[in-house]
Amino acid sequence: MERARIVELIERTRELFSKEPQLIRHSSGDFLIVGDTHGDFDTTMNAIKIAEKEGLNLLFLGDYVDRGPKQIENIVTLLELKLSWGKKLTMLRGNHESAEMNKWYGFYSVVTSTYDPELYEKFAELFSQLPYATLIWSKVFCIHGGIPQKLTKIEEIERLPKGEINPEHPKALQLVWNDPCEDIEEFAPSWRGGGARLFGKLAFERFMNANGLELMIRSHEPQDKGYGYLFNNRLLTIFSCRYYGIRPAGALLRKDGIKIVYLE
């Protein structure tokens, strides 16, 4: 794609994302929820086709770039879709929508070798405007990573700053980096390091109950079947990148229940 077209896409969608709150609330509609894609362009296209056919809203949980073979195609396609779909497409920020991760895991190199460093900087600024969380029907909470240690009320997410090229606010960082763990009750340091935490069942249930939530959907961790449940099936991890040797999965969320679909 021509560089000028990508720049135009970035500028137009950055303006859209800058106006979105950090916690996006959806009160109606059915959803197809997609986890990490990491340059898995085929999975993204299949998700779009299913959503179009079924009349669904699309929610992506972050990590669009790094690792996979079609990183630029993946993110650019979603930006084009955002312009035409508007609020029907929600794109959350993952831990790989950050300059630090992009320089370690490939997106910086892909963009700079194909185009130039200035274009990468525009992508980094765009990523800094992506929202951190979504609340569906006031009861389904969707994020990339996990609940932060000192987050009590879900409304606190709305006050998190935008514009951080690397998420620095402790709660923002933990929203994209934290993981659930059945071996602890509260919180513990994560094997990922860098301020990330593990959260256990007690901490999870306290947060969910305090905010009147029924289900949490997140991504961030590869799953053998493409998905996995924890904590009495109140936490669903969905993963959508085939390059981890798994079937890319999505979660079809309707009022009458949730169904796992494969995005092959």
Annotated catalytic sites, by residue?
A: 96
Scan for tokens 């990590």, then name that residue.
Answer: 63
- 3-state secondary structure string across the chain: CCHHHHHHHHHHHHHHHHHCCCEEEECCCCEEEECCCCCCHHHHHHHHHHHHHHCCEEEECCCCCCCCCCHHHHHHHHHHHHHHHHHHEEECCCCCCCHHHHHHHCHHHHHHHHCCHHHHHHHHHHHCCCCCEEEECCCEEECCCCCCCCCCCHHHHHHCCCCCCCCCCHHHHHHHHCEECCCCCCEEECCCCCCCEEECHHHHHHHHHHCCCCEEEECCCCCCCCEEEECCCCEEEECCCHHHCCCCEEEEEECCEEEEEECC
